[in-house]
Copies of this chain bind each other. A is one copy, B any other.
Amino acid sequence: MTNTRPLAVVLLSGGLDSTTSLAIAITEGFEPCALTFAYGQRHRLELEAAASIVREYGVVRHVVFPIDLRAFGGSALTDDIAVPKGRSAEECYHSIPATYVPARNTVFLSVALAWAETLGSKDIFIGVNSLDYSGYPDCRPEFIAAFESLANLATKAGIEDGKPLKIHAPLLHMTKAEIVRKGTELGVDYRRTCSCYDPNPQGEACGQCDACTLRLIGFSANGLTDPIRYASSTGNTA
Contact = CB atoms under 8 A, between A and B. Distances in A.
A228 interface: no
A138 B114 contact: no
Interface stretch (A24-32, A70-78, A181-189): A70-78
A149 interface: yes
Interface residues of A, number: 44
Nearest to A64: B71
Interface string A48-69: 0000000000000001011111
A74 B117 contact: yes
Given A66-B68, A71-B63, A159-B137, A106 B146 contact: no
The oligomer's copy count stands at 2
Interface in A76-110: 96, 100-107, 109-110
A43 interface: no
A137 B158 contact: yes
A211 to B, nearest CB: 19
Interface of A: 63, 65-69, 71-74, 96, 100-107, 109-111, 113-115, 117-119, 137-138, 140, 142-143, 146-147, 149-151, 153-156, 158-159
